[in-house]
Amino acid sequence: MTKLFEYAPAPESRSVVDIAPSYGLFIDGEFTEAADGRVFKSVAPATEEVLSEVARAGEADVDRAVAAARRAFGPWSALPGAERGKYLFRIARIIQERSRELAVLETLDNGKPIRETRDADLPLVAAHFFYYAGWADKLGYAGFGADPKPLGVAGQVIPWNFPLLMLAWKIAPALACGNTVVLKPAETTPLSALFFADICRQAGLPAGVVNILPGYGDAGAALVAHPDVDKVAFTGSTAVGKEIARAVAGTDKRLTLELGGKGANIVFDDAPVDQAVEGIVGGIFFNQGQVCCAGSRLLVQESVADEVLESLKRRLGTLRLGDPLDKNTDIGAVNSPEQLARITELAEAGEAEGAERWTAPCELPTSGYWFAPTLFTGVTQAHRVAREEIFGPVLSVLTFRTPAEAVAKANNTPYGLSAGVWTEKGSRILAVADRLRAGVVWANTFNKFDPASPFGGYKESGFGREGGRHGLEAYLR
């Protein structure tokens, strides 16, 4: 049925961003080829168009970058905090100035909707640098000793789901505390980190303080294992996180890990239903569900399950999937064919295991990597779709009868990153929040982020916190 009010295409202009045909590694303030000359292509997931060819870092490049960071560490850490802070303030301002360009770039390279890069990613990136800029000369007041010291060289490996935001979460606190960094962006989304290198140039940041090594897992492993790295920070899968934890065992390297999740979004029968539905939708379909803290398990009280599900399906029918650059797009492309294959495989497992699959009515584009918003009902704790992180727009719906059962089910996972609770009863919010084993609990809201708010997991979702005063601890001794 055609809609009466069809929104005409409203594409954001691509012309605000100028992507070069090739990019190098950023080491010691210079763009340089990889030692072995290898390159890889970065592809737009929505169209499969090759955006650029990027140098691929190897072990020799990791050596070079760590050496550059080591050389830069002395002078950088010796700078008065106020001066370091001013560099970060400059970076924050330049990000704000170039935010539309960066938003479009991120949308192209990642596949996420421009609405999200414009309204969420980029404002949060700039805010993160602003926040930590202000800490640089106040570290003695942060509660980690009167005269805390930086650790040295930080090796940082980030994922593809929020490329520039994860960069900000890693680099801003590291630099504020006086460390230097070698950062490896994900192989499917290297471009915004390379644009960030250009921002460092514009800000006049001393050479070697920030080094960017686009590359694959081998480069990440080499960085983590490098003997002259003092600190490892990783955001990504739990499996890789465990490998890293083993790799740094027995060393003096400090480690923080921000890993997977299987967040429960608990909806009680006295919830503000319309807002809860929005929270459920935002919780699992934000960024195509490729969010470690996604509310991928909906736990709804049995007495309102039908009503909530009906509202949810109706609401999912209004989601607009398609061109990520269209300002009205709610659901963009999945980041890579590998990710799409994983989502597809798990969704098929859900069906095979007997859960009932429902897919939002929407047409998928013919090129690019797409997955329609999907929910599974009749799911139990034993289903794979209830246990494994899908990292895609797939919601598993379970029911519960009592608050205690809700909490038990919510906690029944090796993960512990996020959870949501929806009820108008204040004491229940506090009681449930208290018992949830999760690093972030959103009550009557979901997927809210702020540079002042610590973020990180319990259990196999990792350790350490990013954001807020707590986020400094990982970069100080």
Closer residue to another protein, CB minimum distance, 34 or 406: 406
Name the catalytic one among 177, 292, 389, 473: 292
Q: C-alpha angle 166/170/175, rounded to 5°?
A: 145
Task: Please count the other Cβ atoms lying within 10 Å of the Cβ belonging to residue 37.
Answer: 9
How far CA 112 is from CA of 106, 118, 249, 389, in Å, comes to 8, 10, 36, 19
Binding site for another protein (CB under 8 A): 3-10, 115, 119, 127, 143, 238, 241-243, 245-246, 249-250, 252, 257, 259, 270-275, 278-279, 318, 327-328, 414, 424, 429, 433, 436, 438-445, 448, 450, 452-456, 458-460, 462-463, 465, 468-470
Q: Shortest approach of another protein to residue 7 CB, angstroms? A: 5
Rounded-to-integer distance, Cα 187 and Cα 160, Å: 8
Rounded-to-integer distance, Cα 459 and Cα 259, Å: 10
Q: Shortest approach of another protein to residue 401 CB, angstroms? A: 19
Q: Shortest approach of another protein to residue 260 CB, angstroms? A: 11
Q: Shortest approach of another protein to residue 475 CB, angstroms? A: 16
Q: Shortest approach of another protein to residue 453 CB, angstroms? A: 5
Closer residue to another protein, CB minimum distance, 75 or 414: 414
Closer residue to another protein, CB minimum distance, 270 or 348: 270
Q: C-alpha angle 84/89/94, rounded to 5°?
A: 130
Q: Shortest approach of another protein to residue 467 CB, angstroms? A: 8
Q: Which sign does the torsion angle of CA 273, 279, 285, 291 carry?
A: negative
Closer residue to another protein, CB minimum distance, 51 or 255: 255
Q: Shortest approach of another protein to residue 421 CB, angstroms? A: 9
**Spatial CB neighbours of 446, under 8 Å, sequence gap ≥ 6:** 265, 279, 280, 282, 283, 295, 420
How far CA 124 is from CA of 67, 95, 190, 220, in Å, comes to 31, 10, 19, 25
Q: Shortest approach of another protein to residue 249 CB, angstroms? A: 4
What is the helix (H) or strand (E) element at residue 430, kind and residue range? Answer: helix 426-435
Query: 418 - beta bridge partners?
Result: 440
Rounded-to-integer distance, Cα 229 and Cα 231, Å: 6
59 is a catalytic site residue: no
Across 21-152, where does the E strand assignment appear?
22-23, 25-27, 30-32, 39-44, 49-55
Q: Locate 428 and state its tokens.
A: 């229940």
Closer residue to another protein, CB minimum distance, 217 or 272: 272
Q: Shortest approach of another protein to residue 186 CB, angstroms? A: 21
Closer residue to another protein, CB minimum distance, 29 or 322: 322
Query: Using an 8 Å Cβ cutoff, are 150 and 139 in contact?
Result: no
Name the catalytic one among 116, 258, 466, 473: 258
**Spatial CB neighbours of 113, under 8 Å, sequence gap ≥ 6:** 107, 324, 326, 329, 330, 331, 332
How far CA 434 is from CA of 96, 429, 439, in Å, comes to 37, 8, 11
Query: Using an 8 Å Cβ cutoff, are 158 and 189 in contact?
Result: no
Q: C-alpha angle 17/111/372, rounded to 5°?
A: 155
258 is a catalytic site residue: yes
Rounded-to-integer distance, Cα 103 and Cα 99, Å: 6
Closer residue to another protein, CB minimum distance, 143 or 354: 143
Q: Locate 217 and state its tokens.
A: 């897992």
Closer residue to another protein, CB minimum distance, 27 or 438: 438
**What HEC string does 235-246 produce?**
ECCHHHHHHHHH
Q: DSSP for 393-428, please give it.
A: SEEEEEEESSHHHHHHHHH-SS--SEEEEE-S-HHH
Query: 375 - beta bridge partners?
Result: 358, 395
Catalytic residues: 258, 292
